[in-house]
Amino acid sequence: MSIRARLAIGFALLLGLLFAVAALPLQRLEALTARTADIVDRQARLAILSQRANQHAQAAAIGLLNLMQTGERAARVPLYAAMDADIAAADMAVADIEMALLNPATRANIERIADLRQRYGDLFQQTVELIEIEGAAAARRHFEDRTQKVLNTLLFETQALETRLLETMQAELEQLGAAALHARRLVIFLAAGALVAGIAMAWTIARSIVVPVREAVAVAERIAGGDYLTAVANGRRDEVGALLASLATMRDSIASREERISRLAYVDPLTGLPNRTRFLEILGMPPAGSRGALVMLGIDRFAPINNALGHAVGDRLLCQIAARLCEVQGKGCTLARLWGDEFALLLADVDCTAAARHAERILAALRAPMMVDGQRLDIDASLGIVMYPRDGDDGATLMRRAQRAMALAKRRRAGYGFGDGDEGEPAHEELSLIGEMREALARGDFLLHYQPKLDLAGQRIAGAEALLRWRHPEQGMIAPGRFIPFAEQTGFIREITPWVLARVIADAAQWRRDGIAVVVSANLSALDLLNRDLVGLVRRLLDESSLPADRLCLEITESALMDEPELALQHLNELAALGVKLSIDDYGSGQASLAYVKTLPVHELKIDRAFVDGVDTDAKNAAIVRSTLLLCRELGLTVVAEGAETPAELAWLADNDCDLVQGYVVARPLPLDDFLAWIEAVAPDPAVLA
- Apex CA 545: angle with CA 539 and CA 546, to 5°? 80
HEC profile of 612-658: HCCCCCCHHHHHHHHHHHHHHHHHCCEEEEECCCCHHHHHHHHHCCC
- For the residues 621-641, what does the mean pLDDT come to? 92
Supply the DSSP symbol for 144: I
Give the DSSP per-residue string, 474-501: TTEEEPHHHHHHHHHHHTTHHHHHHHHH
pLDDT of residue 540: 96
Side-chain half-sphere exposure of 78, counting CA atoms within 13 A: 4
Is the CATH number of domain 445-689 3.20.20.450?
Answer: yes
Residue 689 reports pLDDT greater than 50: no
Contact (CB, 8 A) for 555 and 451: no
Task: Determine the Cα–Cα distance for residues 170 and 673; give it in Å rounded to an integer.
Answer: 133
pLDDT of residue 137: 79
Residue that wins the pLDDT comparison between 111 and 636 = 636
Residue 664 reports pLDDT greater than 90: yes
Average pLDDT, the chain: 81
Secondary structure (3-state) at 334: strand
- For the residues 458-462, what does the mean pLDDT come to? 91
Supply the DSSP symbol for 371: E
The domain ranges of the chain are 3-200, 276-418, 445-689
pLDDT of residue 285: 74
276-418: CATH architecture? 2-Layer Sandwich (3.30)
- For the residues 361-385, what does the mean pLDDT come to? 91
CA dihedral 103, 104, 109, 114 (to 10 degrees): 80
Name the range with the highest mean pLDDT among 168-177, 379-388, 680-689: 379-388
Paired sense of beta strands 446-455 and 416-418, if any: unpaired
pTM to 2 decimals? 0.48
Task: Indicate the pLDDT class of residue 665, thresholds 50, 70 and 90.
Answer: very high
HEC profile of 251-263: HHHHHHHHHHHHH
Task: Indicate the pLDDT class of residue 521, thresholds 50, 70 and 90.
Answer: very high
3-200: CATH architecture? Up-down Bundle (1.20)
pLDDT one-digit tens code per residue, 25-55: 666 666 666 666 666 666 666 667 667 777 7
Which of these ranges, 368-382, 485-499, 556-570, has the smallest mean pLDDT? Answer: 556-570
Instruction: Cite the beta strand spans of 517-675 per DSSP E.
Output: 519-524, 552-557, 581-587, 604-607, 638-642, 660-662, 670-671
pLDDT of residue 464: 96
Task: Determine the Cα–Cα distance for residues 60 and 86; give it in Å rounded to an integer.
Answer: 6
